[in-house]
């Protein structure tokens, strides 16, 4: 089969690989009908997250049709079922899964000894996202083996196009969780840094959760225009002062809720010296993340507020203003997404026509063009916001 394979920094190729096989009774194999490139795939493209090996198949936003099931799937899936695959692999049986903390499932990371060393405790296995999270082959391919398939799936009805359902795998629940863990009140202002695909979903989620005002911060006109279409007031950080504008828009109080949809690769600008220093340190491996957004959020957030971090961080961040964070009594909520905690509700909202997540797609291309699209997406060429690949 064809698959997008990581060969090294900035080197992803469309290789021919052997087809996946059932390895365990709880496995299923799906024929992929649609998959997407996620912003967090770019961290792997840049080799900023350790634990990738040449030959790893990329991709964790995938859906398709079940073509084979293991004997232990126990009637929960059958051939021909149409499923979206959540990017977090879950067993559904461990203590964390029972609590709904699916992204920290205690069973599915098959290389937990690596994650135990890196993070103290292993988290769930993820598709196509380094050997720290199990080294599972990803879904940017013609076929995908879904481990623990009896739990790791979202069954979806026929009659709704792939484009509306695909993002249940990651970015829609990720944006939703980012907003939900802000405990939004009707009087709140929610400020969202980064108007990439997750930022766009977080904007819509904040609106659907009833916030008073959403403020979106980015520098790319196409993304700001999409944010505005979703109901946000926008700030272009290249031409405006984020601090001044946020204070203006909140009568000097600061936003009650702040969401970081940027993560470890924040924009580097000469007018923001901390970003230059972070980049220099990242280059010589003295720091793994560029946490400018976290610093800014802690500084601007209203005392007593909540900071939500769906953006991916990989390791060590320097110069976080812990004094401001502590004295302002802020709360920070983070984590990979507990996808299956949210998807029943979100699927219902899609079916009801309350939201159509396909608005974010700007490019749809065959899988073979995937390597080129990684570059287009990274370089923000052709006003690219979200790429869907068709195997």
Partner 1 sequence: MFHFSNIVRTKGDPKIVEGGPSLKRPVDQLARALGWFSIGLGVVELFAPRRVTETLGMEGHETMVRAFGVREIMAGIMSLSVEKNAGLWARVGGDGLDAAALLSGLTADNPKKGNIALALLAVGGIAMLDYRAAQDTKPRRPARDAPRKLYPNRSGFPKGIENARNAAKQIAAPDKA
Note whether 135 binds partner 1 by CB under 8 A: yes
**In terms of CB distance, is 12 or 347 closer to partner 1?**
12
Q: Which residues contact 96 (CB under 8 A, 6 or more apart)?
A: 102, 104, 105, 106
**Please, what is the end-to-end C-alpha distance for the chain in angstroms?**
10
Q: Which is nearer to partner 1, 98 or 381 (CB)?
A: 381
Establish if 141 lies at the interface with partner 1 (CB under 8 A). yes
Q: Which of 307, 312, 299, 296 is closest to 264 using CA atoms?
A: 312
Smallest gap from residue 252 Cβ to partner 1 (A): 25
Taking the complex as a whole, the smallest distance from the CB of residue 305 to partner 1 amounts, in Å, to 19
230 binds partner 1 (CB under 8 A): yes
Binding residues for partner 1 restricted to 341-370, rule: CB under 8 A: 353-357, 359-360, 362
Interacting residue with partner 1 among 158, 228, 281, 344 (CB under 8 A): 228
Q: Does 335 bind partner 1 (CB under 8 A)?
A: no
Residues 34-53 close enough to bind partner 1 by CB under 8 A:
46, 53
265 φ, ψ to 5°? -115, 60
Q: What are the strands, taking DSSP E only, across 119-188?
A: 125-126, 143-146, 154-155
Looking at the DSSP bridge assignments, the partners of residue 36 are: 61, 388
Decide: is 240 part of the binding site for partner 1 (CB under 8 A): no
Number of residues counted as binding partner 1 (CB under 8 A): 66
Tell me the angle at which helices 242-249 and 292-300 cross, rounded to the nearest 10 degrees: 30
**CA nearest to 357, candidates 347, 370, 345:** 347
Q: How far is the CB of 246 from partner 1 (least distance, A)?
A: 21
Q: Is residue 9 within the footprint of partner 1 (CB under 8 A)? A: yes
Burial call 207-243: b when 16+ CB within 10 Å, e when fewer? bbbebebbbbbbbbeebbebbeebebebbebeeeebe
Q: Kindly state the DSSP code that residue 36 receives in the 8-state scheme.
A: E
Half-sphere exposure (Cβ direction) of 260: Cα atoms closer than 13 Å: 30
Among the candidate windows 8-16, 77-85, 251-259, 336-344, which touches partner 1 by CB under 8 A? 8-16
Regarding 244 and contact with partner 1 (CB under 8 A), the answer is no
Where does this chain bind partner 1 (CB under 8 A)? 1-3, 5, 7, 9-21, 23, 46, 53-55, 57, 110, 135, 137, 141, 145, 186, 200, 204, 207-210, 220-222, 225-226, 228-231, 238, 279, 283-284, 353-357, 359-360, 362, 371-372, 375, 379-383, 385
């Amino acid at each position: 089969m064809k698959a997008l394979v990581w060969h090294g920094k900035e080197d992803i190729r469309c290789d021919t690989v052997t087809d996946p096989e059932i390895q365990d009774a709880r496995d299923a194999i799906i024929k992929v009908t649609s998959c997407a490139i996620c912003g967090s795939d770019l961290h792997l493209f840049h080799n900023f997250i350790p634990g990738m090996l040449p030959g790893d198949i990329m991709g964790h936003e995938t859906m398709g049709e079940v073509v084979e099931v293991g004997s232990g799937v126990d009637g929960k899936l059958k051939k021909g079922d149409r499923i979206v695959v959540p990017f977090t692999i879950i067993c559904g049986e461990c203590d964390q899964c029972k609590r709904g903390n699916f992204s920290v499932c205690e069973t599915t990371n098959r290389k937990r000894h690596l994650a135990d060393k890196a993070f103290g405790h292993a988290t769930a296995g993820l598709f196509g996202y380094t050997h720290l999270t199990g080294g599972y082959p990803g879904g940017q391919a013609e076929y995908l083996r879904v481990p623990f398939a009896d739990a790791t799936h979202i069954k979806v009805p026929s009659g709704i196009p792939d484009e509306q359902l695909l993002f249940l795998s990651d970015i829609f629940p990720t944006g939703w969780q980012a907003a939900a863990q802000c405990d939004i009140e009707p009087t709140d202002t929610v400020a969202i840094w980064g108007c990439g695909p997750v930022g766009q979903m977080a904007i819509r989620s904040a609106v659907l959760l009833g916030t008073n005002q959403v403020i979106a911060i980015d520098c790319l006109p196409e993304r700001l225009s999409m944010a505005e279409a979703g109901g946000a007031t926008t700030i272009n950080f290249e031409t405006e002062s984020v601090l001044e504008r946020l204070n203006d828009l909140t009568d000097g109080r600061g936003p009650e809720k702040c969401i970081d949809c940027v993560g470890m690769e924040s924009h580097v600008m000469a007018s923001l010296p901390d970003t230059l220093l972070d980049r220099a340190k990242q280059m010589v491996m003295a720091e793994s993340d560029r946490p400018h957004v976290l610093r800014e959020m802690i500084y601007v957030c209203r005392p007593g507020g909540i900071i939500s971090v769906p953006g991916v961080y990989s390791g060590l961040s320097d110069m976080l203003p812990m004094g401001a964070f502590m004295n302002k009594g802020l709360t920070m909520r983070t984590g990979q997404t507990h996808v299956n905690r949210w998807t029943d509700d979100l699927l219902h909202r899609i079916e009801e026509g309350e939201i159509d997540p396909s608005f974010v797609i700007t490019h749809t291309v065959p899988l073979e063009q995937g390597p080129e699209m990684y570059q287009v997406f990274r370089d923000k060429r052709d006003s690219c916001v979200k790429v869907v690949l068709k195997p």
